[in-house]
Each structure stands twice: as structure tokens, then as C-alpha cells.
Amino acid sequence: MDRVDVATVGGGPAGTSAAWAAAREGADALVVEKGVPRADRDRIGPDSTDAAGMLDYWVDIMDVSPEAIPDDVILSVLDGAEFIGPTESVTLEETGIDSSYDHFGFAFHRAKFDDWLRDRAEEAGGTYRVGTSVDGVETDLSESPRHTLRLADGDEIGADYLILADGPQRTVTAGVLDQFLPGGRSASDYVAPNEANHIAYQEHRKIPEELFDPAYIKFWWGLIPGHTAYPWIFPNDDNVARVGLTMPIGMDLDDVANPEGYDLLEPDDERIPSGAVYLRRLLEREYPGYDLDDFPLVEDRGKQDGTEAYPISSTRPIDSPTGAGVAVVGGAMGTTSAFHEGGDHVAVRTGKIAGELAANDQLLKYNGRWKRAIGDEILRNVAFAEIVRGWEPDDWDRVFAATRQMQRKGGYDWGGALRSGATALRVLADYKWTKRGFSDGKHVQLRQDEYTV
């Protein structure tokens, strides 16, 4: 059996950043990644499916300088975001959060970003096992090493520290955590992929030059049903954009109270449309006079034939059983936002924290460290996702109109809300109240003291 100091399950941004940080601290760090082929990558690697956008203050949370990222990773520099409802819209050209980055954000090539993170980790001394999966982990806290990883190819790897970075599907994480939960409880009670997650689908399409806007990302709210369900367009390079959407897994049309209120549903729909059908209807709605053939698929991008689907963690975060030498990072711990999907910045940061601490035998500090590093961001996301629960199309229109009014009246604080009317005041009050309700660690759904170690 091979032995390492730190073993990481999953080679996405969180796992790779963990290996980089652990190797920099002198640890023998290994990443096990099952690997998938992609049309936009020469070698197999992590799934790397993502709309892949970075906001200005996310750069600081990620703690990676944009100047260090290779030029071919960043596809377009963004000046703002458009939020579009059934009849109202609002454009934001600043996030309102202090940042060291000069622009609103940037769109990037997720597969190349992941490959760059891997190259960086290997240069620091980390190693990779790509092309085999982890079938299970056996933990015995009285032994050294404490953890034994069983690989699909028959090999076993012993590790003193285990970092779980297997994304929102949590194929390994759930089983590892179950052994530290008392009374028959299961991690799947908190993070069951098919019950607590969303599914995203996107297409890489060439946009007609007269319609392509390289500086603004676009989100449509109130056009499709489902909690935090929305389509988007992310501009990339060479007039190509990622046209996609996210929606709850397993939603049924019978669950929709007023299907006639959603522009991308049609009267003869017998079920929730597929992602591809939704996107066709979106393009027809937004660009009348154009045919779908005017937006051809770019088949050498994405996972396969210009398309890709992937799960998104829409759960609240969980703590890790650090007393057992285990840290859960990135999407596996629930850092991805159900409200805006983005999670690469918090994945990188949590991975770096876990890798550094594990290498220095200080993993007991992990749950406190990730809260200090990304807690405000997670708290914002959890609060936003909660206040929009149950919103109908008309609610999005009212809020976008009120937000435009607040822009004109001086900002998004209490003064701007007071000058903007009842809707603005109500939305701001709901956000402040909801955020306060999740403070003091209440946004964490599985706490460290609930584990049996």
C-alpha cells in the first residue's frame, strides 16, 4: 500500500488547490481524480463543467491574483451584469463590495483553469492519480495511517489526512461522513444529490456579431419555474457565449402553481421542458427575427458537441469532522450558491485552507478558518436564496424596478431604500432580517459538534 501525508478525492478547483497548498508546506500530497474526456481538453481531468465567471470581490476571496492566471484562461473582461425579468430589468456595473480587481469581473475557460491549477500543484510537488476512482474509504483512528482509500483499479492508498473534494455529487463524501454521525443519521440527510441539488445545462453558441455583447453577463429571472431557476448568457471569446440555465432536479409541472405566468412554458407542455427546449425558447423570445440556426453550436467547446450538463450544490454548507483528520471542501461541503451558481472562488479558497492546515497537522482549525475566510460570502448567498423562495414572475419585475429606483436615489442602503418606496424597503428589510437569522453559524446545517469525533 502506498502512503501519503494528505490524500485528496477529486481534482477540481478545491481538490487541486488543497494539493498545491499541502505540497508547498512540504507534505506528500496526492490527488485522486477519476477523469473525464472533454472536447476542449487534450488530457482527461475533472468534469470542469461550469458557466465560469468571476466577480471582482470573488478574486480577493479566491486569493489568486488575476495576473497569475494565464491569458488563454480569461476569455472576456466584464463591465457589468443585466438582470432581466418578464417586463423589467436592471443593470449592475458594480457589486458594491470593495475589491482589488479593477473590473466588474471576468469570464474564463473552466477546463483550462482547472488544468492550470493542476500544473501549478504538480510544480509545487503534488502528485496526481488520474483515470481511476475512489471506491471507498476505511478509517481507523487508532491506526497510522488513519485512512485507507480503495481505488477502482485495485490499489490502496494510506493517508494521515483526507480532503474530500468530490463536488456536489459527493459520491465519496457521504459514505465517509456517515461513519462519524450517531444514531443512524446519514450525510445524505443533508446533502443528498438528487434531492438537494440543482442541475445546470449549457450550450456553447456563436452569437451574431450585432447581438454579441462581450462586456455584460445576462441573467433572466421569473421566466422559468423553480426556486433559483434561471437562464443566462455568459460572453466568451470570438463571439461565442455560453447559453445556459439552472433548475431544480426532479421538478414536475404539477408543482407549478401558475404555469401560464412563465414566459418559457407553453400551454401544451405536459412536463417541465428539457434544458435544450428552454434555451431555444429563450433565444426566440429575446431575439425575434432570428432563427436558431443563427446561433450555431460550437461543437469543439464544452464537454461534448458544444453542450454540457452538471450538478450544482444548492444546500447550505456543512462542517467537517476534523478530529478524524477529514476536511470537506468546495462543492462537496455546499459552498456553491443556489442563488447565483458561482463557486470556483470559494472552492479554491477552502481547498487552500484545508491543504495548508493538513500539511501542518493543524486541521482542527479548519472549520473556524473557512468561516472567517468565506463566511460572509456564504451568508449572503444563503440569505438571498431564502428571500427569493416562492417568488413569482411579478415579484421579480417589482424588485428589478425597485432596484433601478434605488440606483437613481443613491444606493442600496437604508437611505436609498427609503427614497425608493415600499418595495425597496421591504426587500432590503427581508434581506437584513434573513441574513441576521442565519448569523452566528446558523447557516451551517451540519455542525462540527454533531460528529462523534
Confidence of residue 131 (pLDDT cuts 50, 70, 90): very high
* Residue 215 forms part of a structural domain: yes
Confidence of residue 50 (pLDDT cuts 50, 70, 90): confident
* Residue 446 forms part of a structural domain: no
Q: Of 25-39, 189-203, 242-256, 362-376, which range is least confident?
A: 189-203
Average pLDDT over residues 50-67: 92
Q: Do both 365 and 229 map to the same domain?
A: no
Confidence of residue 62 (pLDDT cuts 50, 70, 90): very high
Domain boundary pick from 297, 312, 327: 312
Q: Do both 111 and 68 map to the same domain?
A: yes
What's the pLDDT score for residue 341? 66
Q: Do both 214 and 347 map to the same domain?
A: no
The answer to whether 199 and 273 are in contact (CB under 8 A) is no
Q: Of 37-41, 198-202, 303-307, 310-314, which range is least confident?
A: 310-314
Joined grid coordinates for residue 259: 404555469
Q: Do both 399 and 327 map to the same domain?
A: no
What's the pLDDT score for residue 196? 61
What's the pLDDT score for residue 436? 92
Q: Do both 69 and 125 map to the same domain?
A: yes
Q: Do both 306 and 429 map to the same domain?
A: no
* Residue 146 forms part of a structural domain: yes
Confidence of residue 27 (pLDDT cuts 50, 70, 90): very high
For residue 129, list its beta bridge partners: 32
3-class SS string, the chain: CEEEEEEEECCCHHHHHHHHHHHHCCCCEEEEECCECCCCCCCCECCCCCCCEEEHHHHHHHCCCHHHCCCCCEEEEECEEEEECCCCEEEECCCCCCCCCCCCEEEECHHHHHHHHHHHHHHCCCEEEECCCEEEEEECCCCCCCEEEEECCCCEEEEEEEEECCCCCCCCHHHHHHCCCCCCCCCHHHHCHHHHEEEEEEEEEECCCCCCCCCEEEEECCCCCCCCCEEEEEECCCCEEEEEEEEECCCCHHHCCCHHHCCCCCCCCCCCCCHHHHHHHHHHHHCCCCCHHHCCECCCCCCECCEEEEEEECCCCECCCHHHCEEECHHHHCCCCCCCCCCHHHHHHHHHHHHHHHHCCCHHHHHHHHHHHHHHHHHHHHHHHHHCCCCCHHHHHHHHHHHHHHHHHCCCCHHHHHCCCHHHHHHHHHHHHHHHHCCCCCCCCECHHHCCC
Whether the per-residue pLDDT at 3 is higher than 80: the answer is yes
Percent residues over pLDDT 70 in the chain? 98
- CATH number of the CATH domain containing 143: 3.50.50.60
* Residue 70 forms part of a structural domain: yes
Q: Do both 46 and 110 map to the same domain?
A: yes
Q: Long-range CB contacts (< 8 A, 24+ apart) of 233-239? A: 234/51, 234/52, 234/53, 234/107, 235/75, 235/76, 235/78, 235/107, 235/207, 236/75, 236/76, 236/107, 236/109, 236/204, 237/75, 237/76, 239/206, 239/207, 239/208, 239/209, 239/212
Confidence of residue 337 (pLDDT cuts 50, 70, 90): confident
Give pLDDT tens digits for 427-440: 889 989 999 999 88
**Which residue range(s) make up the domain with 17?**
2-75+105-193+314-383
* Residue 86 forms part of a structural domain: no
Confidence of residue 291 (pLDDT cuts 50, 70, 90): very high
* Residue 240 forms part of a structural domain: yes
Q: What is the pTM of this model?
A: 0.95
Average pLDDT over residues 65-74: 93
* Residue 443 forms part of a structural domain: no
Give pLDDT tens digits for 83-98: 999 999 999 999 889 9
Average pLDDT over residues 234-242: 96
Domain boundary pick from 276, 294, 312: 312
Domain boundary pick from 290, 312, 334: 312
Mean pLDDT of the chain: 93
Give pLDDT tens digits for 304-334: 899 999 888 878 899 999 999 999 999 999 8
Edge-to-edge strand ranges of the sheet holding 105-108: 53-55, 105-108, 74-78
* Residue 247 forms part of a structural domain: yes
Q: Do both 319 and 305 map to the same domain?
A: no
Q: Which residue has the higher pLDDT, 418 or 285?
A: 285
Q: Do both 126 and 143 map to the same domain?
A: yes
Number of domains in the chain: 3
Percent residues over pLDDT 90 in the chain? 75
Q: Do both 158 and 226 map to the same domain?
A: no
Whether the per-residue pLDDT at 195 is higher than 70: the answer is no
Q: Do both 275 and 327 map to the same domain?
A: no
Whether the per-residue pLDDT at 109 is higher than 90: the answer is yes
Q: Do both 297 and 322 map to the same domain?
A: no
